[in-house]
Amino acid sequence: LKFQPNHPEANHNLGTIAVNVGQFERALPYFKTALEGNFNSAQSWYSYIDCLMKLEMFGEADALLRSALSKGASGSQFDALKEKLDKINSRLSKEKEPSDDVINSLIKHYKNGQLNKVLNEATDLILNFPSSIQLHTILGEVYANLEQHDKAIKMFQNLINMAPNNHLTHYNLGLSLRDLNRLEEAVIAFQQVLKINSVFTDALFYMADAFLKLGKFNDAIKSLQDLLKINKDYPIANSLLGIAFFKDFKFEEALLSFKKELEISSYSPTLQSSIAAALDALGRSDEALEAYAKIISFGPKNHNAWYSILGPVKSILKKLPSSAGLDILNLEKATSQEERINKSILKYR
């Protein structure tokens, strides 16, 4: 080593000698140098991980083992290391958590809507269990429900540091970021969800919604199309896809998406209005007016629906030929939203 200080085999052999005489801390840098000199040596991976475990550096050993396995390390030695580490992690996890009775009590209060009670108790408990995954999860969800999203985000980020492969934590983080309108960060969180669980449809939906708000219509369209390949009946996915197509000036595709949504979901004035808007954008004014008229027949008492379609109907009526016998003044003279549209549409018919 005086002549070749990074020589992999010499470093490994010297590390092994140090381990054999119980000098684990002295062995560690030799194993580290041996591994850095030859990442293809299974024995170097094994010796380094085993030495870390002897020093009770279980977190570092676990991370290194996962790295070794991802690079193709295999065999009975690595299986034994994994089994041993899993048992140690399970034991350590129990020591880091409150009793099951305490956790179940918090969950019961949470389900009963006693959020402030849960918040107070869990905040006190986490002082004694600062590495508790369950308490971080509960507090994150409570903060999110109380719309204290900054605090929720902190809890979810702590959780990710402790358990990086839980897709639900990344998903909850994305939702809180979205609620704070931190859309670019929300997209990154949802993308991380999908790296862990590629068929998690809720993440695809809310990622598409974020893309839509960011004006990234093609990304929104692709996300929704991927979602619908997994679940063609996902609620309002076709409707959101229609909106993305509409905003991207693809009106035929928008119309088809809105109609698909109508096939699988119950009628809504908003969806019918979207169909009418797409027809109008395609220059099919007669059909658009009839589509708006359906809102009247389905929801005669829905004043919000009447008000929302008044402007578009008026615009369509103005575009139609005067020979249709329209009296646009009816829109201005009528005393109610219903009467305004009824008079114009009935006269048109």
Model confidence at 58, pLDDT cuts 50, 70, 90, reads: confident
Share of residues in the chain with pLDDT > 90 (%): 54
- Res 46 pLDDT > 70: yes
Model confidence at 87, pLDDT cuts 50, 70, 90, reads: confident
Mean pLDDT calculated for residue range 52-62:
83
339 vs 272: which has the higher pLDDT: 272
- Res 175 pLDDT > 70: yes
Mean pLDDT calculated for residue range 311-324:
60
Give pLDDT, residue 39: 81
Question: Mean pLDDT over all residues of the chain?
Answer: 85
304 vs 148: which has the higher pLDDT: 148
Lowest mean pLDDT among 15-24, 91-100, 141-150, 179-188: 91-100
Give pLDDT, residue 273: 84
Model confidence at 57, pLDDT cuts 50, 70, 90, reads: confident
| CA distances from residue 45 to 40, 49, 62, 73, 78 in whole angstroms, order as listed | 9, 6, 12, 8, 9
Give pLDDT, residue 326: 43
Give pLDDT, residue 343: 57
Lowest mean pLDDT among 40-49, 228-237, 271-280, 331-340: 331-340
Model confidence at 269, pLDDT cuts 50, 70, 90, reads: confident
Give pLDDT, residue 55: 86
**3-state secondary structure string across the chain:** CCCCCCCHHHHHHHHHHHHHCCCHHHHHHHHHHHHHHCCCCHHHHHHHHHHHHHCCCHHHHHHHHHHHHHCCCCCHHHHHHHHHHHHHHHHHHHHCCCCHHHHHHHHHHHHCCCHHHHHHHHHHHHHHCCCCHHHHHHHHHHHHHCCCHHHHHHHHHHHHHHCCCCHHHHHHHHHHHHHCCCHHHHHHHHHHHHHHCCCCHHHHHHHHHHHHHCCCHHHHHHHHHHHHHHCCCCCCHHHHHHHHHHHCCCHHHHHHHHHHHHHHCCCCHHHHHHHHHHHHHCCCHHHHHHHHHHHHHHCCCCHHHHHHHHHHHHHHHHHCCHHHCCCCHHHHHCCCHHHHHHHHHHHHC
